[in-house]
Amino acid sequence: MNVSSTDTIDIETLAEVIRDELAPELALEYTDAREADAEHTHADISKANDLLGYEPTRDIREGVREFIDWYQANREWYEPLVRRS
């Protein structure tokens, strides 16, 4: 089930948002696209809306900030879990 937003964001803008929250002084580094890279995604939240009544309530900047705060508060147990997966 797609759980996302009705807004679209390109990967460069997402990288900028994350960089701005973590270390605004860093420069983004660009490389050539990989064969499996998607040029576009087509998130559709209609199933989540129909089944769960899901409606996005945050924009990308709010979501990134909240995730960073959550990650920093839970890093001790979360990092080992991710590394084992």
41 secondary structure, DSSP code: -
Closest C-alpha to 1, from 40, 36, 37, 50: 50
Q: Give SS3 for 39.
A: coil
Average pLDDT over residues 44-67: 90
pTM score > 0.75 for this model? no
Residue with tokens 């040029």: 39
Q: Across all residues in the chain, what is the average pLDDT?
A: 88
Is pLDDT of 2 > 70? no
What are the domain boundaries of the chain?
11-32+41-84
Average pLDDT over residues 64-68: 94
pLDDT digit string, tens, across residues 12-28: 889 999 999 999 999 99
